[in-house]
Amino acid sequence: MFEIGQTSFLKYCEIYCYLMGKHLKIPPLSFNDGKLKEIDVRIVGFSQKYEDILIRWAMGIVFIWFGILKPLGMSPAEEIVVKTNNVVLPFIDPNFMVWFLGIYEVLIGIFLIIKRLNRVGILLLAFQMPATLLPLFLFPDVTFTQVPWALTLEGQYIVKNLVLMASAIVIAGNVRNDHR
């Protein structure tokens, strides 16, 4: 952290922002009238109409794409999958695990795209997603440049799964919405 005298740089930023906000009297952005309201209503309407299908298709495509690379030997995650497998499941052949995980991910993707099969996709995700976070704890030297904040590319690849987990929760929340 930058030090300026006894006060940190961040403290100066905080004080500056507070004073600027007080002196500038910036009103909050309002979407309650005029053109902004019209645009806002359209965006919200579009989002509500297509949120379920877009999130299911986006996740499905990601899982099918990333999954298909594994059995083809083209996945950048293969090395970390093998390394994790050797620690967690040393009695299972790592090459089989890469192949199995790829097929498993393709199935998740298909099940997320097909609305009637979303429950199955979410169930498969419930087992797969926590396992994807294991390398953060098992191999911090591979996933971080500085623990716990600075991630390597592999670490970023793993942490992005938090978005997939949150998206899965949204999909799970919509499985009873048959009208979409």
- CA-to-CA distance for 131 and 111, rounded, in angstroms? 19
**Is there a domain that residue 35 lies in?**
no
pLDDT digits 0-9 by tens, 119-141: 999 999 999 999 999 999 999 99
Q: Residue 166 sits in which domain range?
A: 50-180
Determine what percent of the chain is predicted with pLDDT higher than 90: 73
Average pLDDT, the chain: 88
Compare 40 and 5 and report the one with higher pLDDT: 40
pLDDT band at residue 87 using 50, 70 and 90 as cut-offs: very high
Radius of gyration of the chain (CA): 22
Predicted confidence (pLDDT) per residue in 56-73, tens digit = 999 999 999 999 999 999
Q: Is the residue at 1 inside a domain? A: no
Assess if residue 18 is contained within a domain.
Answer: no
pTM of the model: 0.79
Q: Which of 83-87, 118-122, 145-149 has the lowest mean pLDDT?
A: 145-149
Look at residue 147 and tell me whether its pLDDT is greater than 80.
Answer: yes
Give the pLDDT confidence score for residue 176 in this predicted structure: 86
Residue 7 pLDDT exceeds 60: no
The answer to whether residue 30 sits within a structural domain is no
Residue 10 is assigned to a structural domain of this protein? no
Give per-residue pLDDT as tens, 92-122: 999 999 999 999 999 999 999 999 999 999 9
Asked if residue 104 is part of any domain, the answer here is yes
Distance, CA of 96 to CA of 91 (rounded, Å): 11
The answer to the question of residue 33 being in a domain is: no
Please report the pLDDT score of residue 13 as a whole number: 64
Q: How far apart are CA 126 and CA 95, in angstroms?
A: 23
Number of domains, the chain? 1
pLDDT tens-digit map of 50-60: 999 999 999 99
CB atoms within 10 A of CB 97: 19
- d(Cα 122, Cα 158) in Å, to the nearest integer? 19
Instruction: Give the pLDDT of residue 61.
Output: 98
Domain assignment present for 34: no
DSSP bridge pairs for 146: 150
pLDDT of residue 22: 61
